Each structure stands twice: as structure tokens, then as C-alpha cells.
């Protein structure tokens, strides 16, 4: 009795989030995890991680492609880095995989961009658009008619009400709540547990209940 051949995939990163991504990929049953890429911790090369081996850094990309690995997904939280490395991997011929946990609930009309990870227990309601390389993390909820732009990270337990916009490469911290018809700018950080009741501009850090801007984002934030 023949089975369907799975496409080979590499996960970029060896953090805790990478292990979550690996679990989602395996449960989805569409890809075979060929191994992990890690540019940050070269000492991990050759070691076991997440049920496979750490293959090395980006110098391995051409070899991987020659071995039939055509898909990559990012397993780390740095929003800007996920977007930046997308250009690199696409330039080498790779495609970005999508990982959606089988326990996540998505309305039938939800659009999900390449490279996006939707974790266990997430709920995304009708009319919503999720961009490329987005993370909708564990038990986060995104209500109707929202737009989550490329590279954003909606952390575990976040609650977005209807008609919310989360800007490009923005981080919405764990347990934050965002009221309806609110826009959070690009490259912004919303602190854990914040309650966003008004629009938040680009490139700032906002915390508290209600959330208030406390400073601009530092380049290394």
C-alpha cells in the first residue's frame, strides 16, 4: 500500500520556538523535516534537536537545495530577521512553508501568507488576513476583519478584537488585549499584558493598561 511522499523541509533556528514549529510541522504531516539551520550557535552543528540534526548555518543552503530540500520555515521570534532572511532564501530558490497546528481554528475565508506559523489553540475569525512570516502563537485569538501584516508576532494568549491592524514586524506581547478598530504601527512592541485602547504609532514600545508609549524602539530591541 503506497504512501504519499512528503516534501523535504528545513527549519531555520534551534530555539524553543523552533521545537514548537517542528511539532506543528510533524502534526500537519505534509513535510519531512530534513534538519535545522542555525547561524547563531555554530557549536550545535551535528547535534540532535527537535527530532532531527542541526546541519549548520546558511552556508549549507545550496547543499540543501541540491539534496531536494525546497522548503524552509523560520523557527525564531525576531520579526525583522524573519523578513530579511526571506529575501535570502527565496533568492536561492527556496519556498516558504506554512505551518498550522491541527487544533487551530481558522474561518474558511482567512488568508494566510507564506512562512506563517499558527500554533496550537489559536482562533482566527472571518474576514481576517494574515501576512507572510507571521506568528500567531499558542491560544491567541484574532477576531473578524483583522489584518496582521508581514513578520508580526501575536504572542501566546493575545486577544485581538475585530477590525484590528497589526503592523509589519510588530510584536504583541503575551496576554495583551487590543480593542476593536485599533491600529498598531509597524516595528512596534506591545508589552505583556497590555490593554491597547487607542492607536499606537510605528516604532515604539507601549506598555500598561491602558497601553501608553514609553519610548522609541532601540535598533537592538
CA atoms within 13 A on the CB side of 69: 22
Place of cell 527530532: 51
- What pLDDT sits at residue 4? 65
Write the CA distances from 161 to 111, 123, 149, integer angstroms. 18, 12, 16
d(CA 99, CA 76) in angstroms, rounded, equals 14
If pLDDT is split at 50, 70 and 90, which confidence band does 221 have?
Answer: low
Q: Give the DSSP H/E element, type plus range, for residue 17.
A: helix 16-28
- What pLDDT sits at residue 1? 43
Contact 76, 4 (CB under 8 A): no
**33: CB partners within 8 A, 6+ apart:** 9, 10, 11, 22, 25, 26, 50, 51, 52
Contact 105, 123 (CB under 8 A): yes
If pLDDT is split at 50, 70 and 90, which confidence band does 220 have?
Answer: low
pLDDT greater than 70 at residue 2: no
pTM: predicted TM-score of the whole model, two decimal places: 0.95
Span(s) in the chain for CATH 2.160.10.10: 100-208
Q: Exactly one of 17, 71, 101, 144 is catalytic; which is it?
A: 144
Which of 45, 106, 38 has the alpha carbon at shortest distance from 72?
A: 38
| Tens digits of residue pLDDT in 170-205 | 999 999 999 999 999 999 999 999 999 999 999 999
Instruction: Indicate the CATH number of 7-97 among 3.50.50.60, 3.40.50.20, 2.60.40.740, 3.30.465.10.
Output: 3.40.50.20
Q: Is 17 a known active-site residue?
A: no
If pLDDT is split at 50, 70 and 90, which confidence band does 29 have?
Answer: confident
For 19, the grid coordinates are 521545537
Span(s) in the chain for CATH 3.40.50.20: 7-97
If pLDDT is split at 50, 70 and 90, which confidence band does 95 have?
Answer: very high
- What pLDDT sits at residue 169? 98
CATH class of 100-208: mainly beta
Mean local confidence (pLDDT), 52-64: 96
- What pLDDT sits at residue 219? 73
Q: Mean pLDDT across the chain, nearest whole number?
A: 96
If pLDDT is split at 50, 70 and 90, which confidence band does 5 have?
Answer: confident
| Tens digits of residue pLDDT in 200-211 | 999 999 999 999
For the chain, the first-to-last Cα distance in angstroms comes to: 52
Amino acid at each position: 500500500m503506497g504512501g504519499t511522499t512528503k516534501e523535504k523541509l528545513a527549519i531555520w533556528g534551534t530555539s524553543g520556538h523552533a521545537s514548537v514549529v517542528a511539532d506543528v510541522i510533524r502534526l500537519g504531516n505534509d513535510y519531512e523535516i530534513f534538519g535545522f539551520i542555525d547561524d547563531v550557535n555554530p557549536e550545535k552543528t551535528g547535534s540532535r534537536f527537535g527530532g532531527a540534526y542541526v546541519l549548520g548555518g546558511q552556508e549549507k543552503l545550496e547543499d540543501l537545495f541540491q539534496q531536494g530540500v525546497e522548503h524552509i520555515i523560520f523557527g525564531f521570534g525576531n520579526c525583522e530577521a524573519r523578513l530579511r532572511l526571506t529575501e535570502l532564501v527565496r533568492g536561492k530558490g527556496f519556498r516558504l512553508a506554512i505551518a498550522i497546528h491541527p487544533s487551530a481554528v481558522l474561518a474558511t475565508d482567512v488568508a494566510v501568507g507564506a512562512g506563517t506559523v499558527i500554533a496550537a489553540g489559536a482562533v482566527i475569525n472571518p474576514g481576517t488576513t494574515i501576512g507572510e512570516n507571521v506568528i500567531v502563537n499558542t491560544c491567541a485569538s484574532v477576531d473578524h476583519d483583522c489584518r496582521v501584516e508581514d513578520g508580526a508576532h501575536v504572542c501566546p494568549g493575545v486577544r485581538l478584537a475585530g477590525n484590528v491592524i497589526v503592523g509589519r514586524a510588530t510584536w504583541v506581547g503575551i496576554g495583551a488585549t487590543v480593542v476593536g478598530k485599533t491600529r498598531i504601527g509597524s516595528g512596534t512592541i506591545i508589552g505583556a499584558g497590555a490593554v491597547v485602547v487607542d492607536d499606537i504609532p510605528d516604532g515604539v514600545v507601549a506598555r500598561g493598561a491602558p497601553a501608553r508609549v514609553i519610548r522609541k524602539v532601540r535598533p537592538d530591541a
